[in-house]
Copies of this chain bind each other. A is one copy, B any other.
Amino acid sequence: MISAGYVRTISLTPPALGNNTADVQRLEQALKKELKTRFVHLPWSLSASLPAQLREWGWKAKVLLFKDRRSFRVVDLLDPKDPEPVLGAAVDIGTTRMVISLIDLETGKKLAETGLDNPQAEIGPDVLTRIHHARTPAGRKELQRLAVEAINRHLARLCRDNRVAPERVFLLAGAGNTAMTHLFAGLPAFGIIQEPYIPCTNIPDTLAAERLGLAIHPRGQVFLFPNIGSYFGGDLLAGILAADLDRKQDPCIMVDVGTNAEIVLGNRDWLMACAGAAGPALESGVSQMGMTAKPGVIDRVSVEPFTRDLIIHTIDGQPPVGICGSGMIDLAASLFSSGRIDIRGKLVPEACGGRLTEVDGMTAFVLVDACSSGTAGPIRLSQVDLNSLTSAKAAMYTILEVIVSQMAGLSFSDLERFYVAGTFGSFIDPTSAITIGMLPDIPIDRFQVLGNTSLKGAEQVLTDPDAFDRVMAIRDTITYIELNVNQQFMNLFSGAKFYPHTDTSRFPSVKV
């Protein structure tokens, strides 16, 4: 049971001749006292039934609240003896995948969670195509409907599995990047991708679920995380919340590699955010080349200490079919630590031996040969792939260096925690990432994988009224820095293209 959540059972002093406050104001006053706040908004639609309810319920009510930018607001009033659970739904509105969880608002417990492909991918797998499609009101409506209907369907299933009606879901909180938030809400999004990159809104605020067609309680309310700007979205704010960055004493950093590389640095006194133009470089090096996790995908690569053979691990132990991002980083680290690539990131023929082959005039390393593969052909890493990875890891390190050293005036060792957010980051082995010079060489125990912080942040907003104010405060105070790829950046970038770095003193733990 969470005593300070959005569901409160309130007892009122019954009226009397000397105490003749009106019913609505009687409840408002009790709620203000209970919530220690100056104002509680009770919507007009709940007024007419209140007198009979209060008398029937013996001057008690189970009050379901939520917040908007102006105050607490009453979402619904329930019989204090109502035995059905009071639920909320959290949604990670991802470009490719969405995740929904069902939360009991009275206990704070998660009842269920499910993932689904974002059906907006029918219109276009990438954000750009979707934003173009959303130029007309009909296109916006279509994209919005696709996402909402999929959520309705999956939410209905989660509810059925838990033997509750979807009408028992009163609150929904969603976190996505700026474009996804706009498309989910049916807002024009074209300004996001067109200079000077102006979103329609950065603060959707709390709104009625029925406005979006969400099939939850008719009076249900929806909170969509605000954005900082076109390239810094609500998913990141949810991440800051989930990581408690805004409450830390010592500076911490959070890195989320998704469509962009997004970095937040700071503590309870200051926060700075940076979404880099280097993000796409990073992505093309890691995410795009890598496959999404599924059975047979190589997710771990290591070196056998004696034989120096490469040991691969696939998801579910199935025959290998490809390699994912975390596997790529492991592979590069293994190749480097076993001397198969040099400090410039080039494959070393002498060390690779028979594993080297040539494809279309390009050297490639054969990780799995055709007969061991789960596909018809061999699984290879070409020098071009490797060069992309080198650029990507160099970009990542350079962005980190710029924000931590140049902008915040800190050194990496000042960071109390290094949070890795996002699905991709969840699987990276920090030791491998350090080995190739992608992440700074700080003690391994300072790295912490947060998993799906969009979902976690959304869940937090459903269960903790303080979270709303924290999100708004973070949004208002965070300094957003546009990363300029200038000459100085390029100089740092060149140094970071080595394995682990031209300045090896930065990576004492990496034995070259």
Contact = CB atoms under 8 A, between A and B. Distances in A.
Interface in A127-160: 137, 140
Given A41-B70, A51-B191, A211-B45, A202 B16 contact: no
A106 to B, nearest CB: 27
A22 interface: yes
A71 interface: yes
B44 A191 contact: no
Interface stretch (A193-201, A406-414, A447-455): A193-201
A207 B44 contact: yes
A465 to B, nearest CB: 17
Contact-residue bracket for chain A: 35 or more
A288 interface: no
Contact of A23 (B47, B137, B198): B198
Contacts of A71: 70
A21 B50 CA distance: 42
B70 A203 contact: no
A349 interface: no
In the complex, the count of this chain's copies comes to 2
B24 A202 contact: yes
Contact of A188 (B20, B48, B69, B137): B48
A187 B16 CA distance: 21
Nearest to A137: B48
A16 B194 CA distance: 11
21 contacts: A15-B196, A16-B196, A20-B198, A21-B198, A21-B202, A22-B198, A22-B199, A22-B203, A23-B191, A23-B200, A24-B203, A25-B201, A25-B202, A39-B70, A41-B69, A41-B70, A44-B205, A48-B187, A50-B200, A51-B188, A70-B70
Closest A-B pairs by Cβ, 3 of them: A24-B201, A22-B202, A22-B199
